[in-house]
Structure 1
Amino acid sequence: MGKPTGFMEYDRQSQKERDPAERTKDWDDYTLPLTDEEAQLQGARCMDCGVPTCQSGMEINGSTTGCPVYHLIPEWNDLVYRGQWKEALKKEHEMNNFPEFTGFACPAPCEGACVLGINEPPVAIRTVERSIIEKGFENGWVKPEPPKSRTGKKVAVVGSGPAGLATAAQLNKAGHWVTVYERNDRVGGLLTYGIPEMKLPYSVVERRVNILEQEGIKFITNTEVGRHYPVSRLREEYDAVILCGGATVHRNIEADGRSLKGIHYAMDFLHSNTKSLLDSGHEDGNYISAEGRDVIVIGGGDTGTDCLATSVRHNCKSLTQFDIYDKKGADRDDLTNPWPQYPIVHRVEYGHNEADANLGRDPRAYAVMTKRFVGDEEGRVKEVHTVNVELIFDEKGNRSRREIPGTEKVWKADLVLLAIGFSGPEQDLIEKLGVETTERSNVDAEYGKYETNVEGVFAAGDMRRGQSLIVWAINEGREAARECDRYLMGSTVLP
């Protein structure tokens, strides 16, 4: 720790943002980088705490706290403060293959566990992380490092999201020949088609994929294993298979009128928008447009916020986001949500700011439950009927929601986006491989071992654990690679 009093001298400064009224006129990154000096002062705020809980990923009461990839956060914070950027980059890459992905799109559970955060704004860890990797790319320090020798073993990775990419990167380092199969036309999974361009530019994904290709990894796109590529051939041609296909079965709303036109899953909306944008700058028209529409987004999480930001850029007519939960307080509740748990507090994210700047208000409506959809004579949704709800607990502590009489409301809407998450992985490939699943439909493979019931077949990421964070996917991809390497070679040198 180079600045013992830094946390007392400098205020927190996270990633800057472009003006929300201006940035919605384009699809460029909505943030602005800190200067080197600003990032160094943020590094100086890192305390000499006895137990750096920021770098120890765990789950408490169903939410993540700390960093699941065990990032060496205090070490690279100190190196940044001292201006030793190249050394900081090496430390960053020791535990995380893709700090740019987490630097752009991770909700930063590390910051929720920051010791300074007990009574002061926490260290801007994610901002420093992103500053390091961007400086590395700008200066040409991030270079292909192909293995010096090959084992001759061949591994297939199914899915090119963060888990698949981390798995492939690590197995390639161990000297195995790795092929990654992706059913979409671009590599990246939900990094590419689930996170909008202004939040995680595809160029950020593409530059890393180019490096992985130069290191010897083969990517095959537009190929769905089990459909375009037979499972029997997969098992014959590869010594091991790792399933990293994600959890992509949408959660649905069972409500009257659900089949009306104009009601879409959020991921269909985001995917089509990004593909059309990358293919043609939207000139092909192959996307779900919010232009001139009264848009309702159902779901209060990050994906819902991404739908807000995308709809504003489409120039929607009006915009409302339903959150099933009550509005949270500005500060964490020390009794029900104590440190180091991830702080459950009211947040104003980039999409909320953009909706406010362009449409005149924060778009959120709280404690709202959708009851039914009503359509017009052409079968298109025109109204969403809702009621407010309150959370109640029975004598055993089980919770449920109770409708509040007199709070019924009708909302005008001709585009509804369902952003309520995913229930688990698609089952077709799992069934064809004969892989067993859990009661929640995820692939049954023990955390830390990742082996399925089928010899030589492993699973990692959301396909194994269910819908989760990018940083957990990277963690599992790295660990699954280690266990696959052990299976192939009898021992492993991978972390």
Structure 2
Amino acid sequence: MGKPTGFMEYKREKPHEEPPKKRIKHFGEYGERFTDEQLKVQGARCMDCGTPFCHMGIEIRGVAAGCPIQNVIPEWNDLVYRGQWKDALDRLLMTNNFPEFTGRVCPAPCESSCTLAISEPAVAIKGIERSIIDKGFEEGWITPRIPKTRTGKKIAIVGSGPAGLTAADDLNQDGHQVTVFERDDRPGGLLMYGIPSMKLDKDVVLRRVHLLSQEGIQFIVNCEIGKDRTLDELKEEFDAVILCVGAQRQRVLHLPGDDADGIIPAMTYLSSTTKSLLDGEKKAPIDVKGKHVLVIGGGDTGADCVATALRQKCKSVVQFGKHPRLGNDRDNDHMWPADPGIFKMDYAYEEAEAVTGKDPREYLIQTKRIEKDASGKVTALHTIEMDKVMGEDGFHYFREIPGSERVWLADVVFVAIGFEGIDLEVTEGTDLELSSNRIRASRTSYATNLPGVFTAGDARRGQSLVVWAIKEGKEAAQKVNTYLVKEKVAI
């Protein structure tokens, strides 16, 4: 805990953020860490709540409640309150390999489960976490940890997203020789190309990759397993293989006119924009300057498209969501300690409102067809409004509202309706078993049906949070270490 009466004396604060109209002029991070004084005050708000739910790490109705990697949050809150920064960093790194990532992009289920959140704004756990690790790098406390001994065992990890990097980190510290294969030109996977730079600066990702390299992990980029090398080849060369290939196959629209030019998968837009920035290109491959932009899909990826389009100076931007607007207060379907399921203004929506005067989101919208011109270019979307109703069977259904049809001008449409599963190239020519477009694996051992081949992260569980990927990477690493040491694993 922090100060015994801190939660009554101090208000929750956010770290400083650049004003929306100023930050949309660049792609740099818009948020900063807490100052040391702010950090002490915010740490002081942690209550002596007896049983901390913030680090319980479970799922309630499919939604994370508490920290999945069991960060010992009250301990490092207390340490920052007391000014013991180095000890706070050590506590944080006991459970979290990469706090600089989660402290920036995690939706913070820990805060939803904070006891203080029952009646007051939660402790600013996410901001404190980021501030601890950022101060650690600033002070030079983060240095390479070179394993003292090596086992002689070799491990191949396919994919360098959060699950792959976590597994690589832990197994390297166990003394094994780890090689990470990445199909893109830079390591980081989702962290590098799936999350825009304004939320996670790519120097932060490269800093960690460089540190892992110094510790002995080898990274091989521009190498796609299933195309440049086969899974069978990796099995022959390495003692174990972990597939952390993510769930990157994007869902597509199945609508009349969906073949129009200008209908673009959201991740294609985001990743190509980030790559062009890193490569120093003057113009992005997909540039929406002066164009009417529509985003289909109400989630975080859609919000990132809104923010990116604003930075490219689009003429207008609207985001369609199929669900109703969330309420301002927690309801009976979202009881503590689960996520409150309340309305929030994400960074992208704050920016859009500052520029256009309104929130870009439209709710309960169903796209019916796509209109295109004679050259095949998208020109408009035809939509209808929906009602969400409860059926007699107790399930919710969407019902069209007659007479609510509308036509929306569109020069570009970004499709952000989620992901179907893994790209199948890695499985071609193998007997690797799949389930619902994910790699089938034991829930306890992470082992696939192929001896010596394991999987973790989105490739196993489906599209999820960075913090769940870190948890999966840690658990898979433990099982692989057991497999290599004992030469067997229970399946």
**TM-score bin (small chain):** over 0.9
CA contact (8 A) 2:226 2:428 kept: no
Distance 2:321 2:464 in 1: 19
- Per-residue deviation, 1:286: 4.7
Residues 248-280 of structure 1 deviation map (CA, whole Å, 9 limit, x = unaligned):
111112111111001101000001100001001
TM-score by length of 1: 0.97
Q: Is 2:438 the counterpart of 1:442?
A: yes
Tell me whether 1:138 sits opposite 2:158 in the alignment: no
1:236 equivalent in structure 2:
236
- CA deviations on 1:227-263 (whole Å, 9 max, x unpaired) are 1012232111100000000001111121111110011
**Counterpart selection for 1:421 from 418, 421, 428:** 418
Matched-pair contact (CA < 8 Å) for 1:485–1:491:
no
SS at match of 2:286: coil
CA RMSD of aligned residues (A): 1.2
Q: Equivalent residue for 1:218?
A: 218
Deviations 1:74-109 (A, max 9, x none): 000100100111111111110010000000100001
Once residues 390 and 24 of structure 2 are traced to their aligned partners in structure 1, the CA distance between those partners, rounded to angstroms, is 42
**Which segment is superposed worse, 117-126 or 400-409?**
400-409
Q: In the alignment, which residue of structure 2 is the partner of 1:297?
A: 295
CA contact (8 A) 2:2 2:77 kept: no
Give, in whole Å, the separation in 2 of the partners of 1:286 and 1:410: 29
More off after superposition, 91-100 vs 15-24: 15-24
Per mean C-alpha deviation after superposition, the further-off stretch among 458-467 and 249-258 is 249-258
CA distance in 1, matches of 2:224, 2:122: 43
Tell me, yes or no, if structure 1 residue 340 matches structure 2 residue 337. Answer: yes
- Write the distance in 1 (CA, Å) between the matches of 2:335 and 2:146: 45
- Please list, as runs of the form range in 1=range in 2, the aligned pairs for 1:89-488 lying within 5 A after superposition: 89-280=89-280, 282-283=281-282, 285-333=283-331, 335-438=332-435, 440-488=436-484
Alignment: residue pair count:
488
> C-alpha offsets along residues 425-457 of structure 1, whole Å, 9 cap, x if unaligned?
12221243321122x121111233101111100
- The amino acid that maps onto 1:445 is A
Distance of 1:325 and 1:223 partners within structure 2: 40
CA offset at residue 208 of structure 1?
0.4
Inter-partner Cα distance in structure 2 for 1:49 and 1:389: 43
Question: Amino acid of the residue matched to residue 400 of structure 1?
Answer: Y
Measured in 1, the distance between the counterparts of 2:393 and 2:91 equals 47
Cα shift readout 1:376-406 (whole Å, capped 9, x = no counterpart): 1211100011111111232222222111111
Paired AA for residue 293 in structure 2: V
TM norm structure 2: 0.98
Gaps of 5+ in 2: none
Distance in 1, matches of 2:444 and 2:3, equals 37
3-state DSSP class of the match of 1:54? Answer: coil
Contact 2:12 2:121 in 1 (8 A): yes
Secondary structure class of the residue paired with 2:252: coil
Distance 1:452 1:377 in 2: 50
CA distance in structure 1 between the aligned counterparts of 2:393 and 2:448, rounded to whole angstroms: 36
The one-letter code sitting in structure 1 at the alignment partner of 2:197 is E
Determine the C-alpha separation between the residues in 1 that align with 2:211 and 2:181: 17
Superposed counterparts of 1:81-92, under 5 Å: 81-92=81-92
Distance in 2, Cα, partners of 1:247 & 1:141:
35
What letter matches 1:138 in structure 2? E
For 1:102 and 1:286, how far apart are their aligned partners in 2? Answer: 28
Instruction: Tell me, yes or no, if structure 1 residue 44 matches structure 2 residue 44.
Output: yes
Report if aligned partners of 1:243, 1:458 keep a CA contact under 8 Å in 2.
yes
Using the TM superposition, give the Cα deviation of residue 361 of structure 1 relative to its aligned residue in structure 2, in angstroms.
Answer: 1.6
Deviations 1:177-204 (A, max 9, x none): 0000000001000111011111100000
Contact 2:2 2:44 in 1 (8 A): yes
Distance (whole Å) between structure 2 residues aligned to residue 226 and residue 127 of structure 1: 40
SS, match of residue 71 in structure 2? coil
More moved, 314-323 vs 10-19 = 10-19
Deviates more, 1:312-321 or 1:44-53: 44-53
Paired with 1:141 and 1:250, the residues of 2 have a C-alpha distance of: 40
Counterpart-to-counterpart distance in 2, 1:346 and 1:398: 23
AA aligned to 2:477 is A
- Partners of 1:475 and 1:63 lie apart in 2 by 15
For residues 316 and 2 of structure 2, the distance between their equivalents in structure 1, rounded to whole angstroms, comes to 50
**Deviation of the 1:360 alpha carbon:** 2.3
Task: Give the C-alpha shift of residue 491 in structure 1.
Answer: 8.8
Q: Give identity over the alignment, percent.
A: 53
Show CA shifts across 1:323-364 (max 9, x none). Answer: 11111111110x211001111011101100111112222111
* Rounded Cα–Cα distance in structure 2 between residues aligned with 1:193 and 1:411: 30
Which consecutive aligned stretches of 4+ in structure 1 deviate over 4 angstroms post-superposition?
Answer: none
The one-letter code of the counterpart of 2:447 is E
SS in structure 2 at match of 1:485: helix
Q: SS of the residue aligned with 1:257?
A: coil
CA contact (8 A) 1:263 1:415 kept: yes
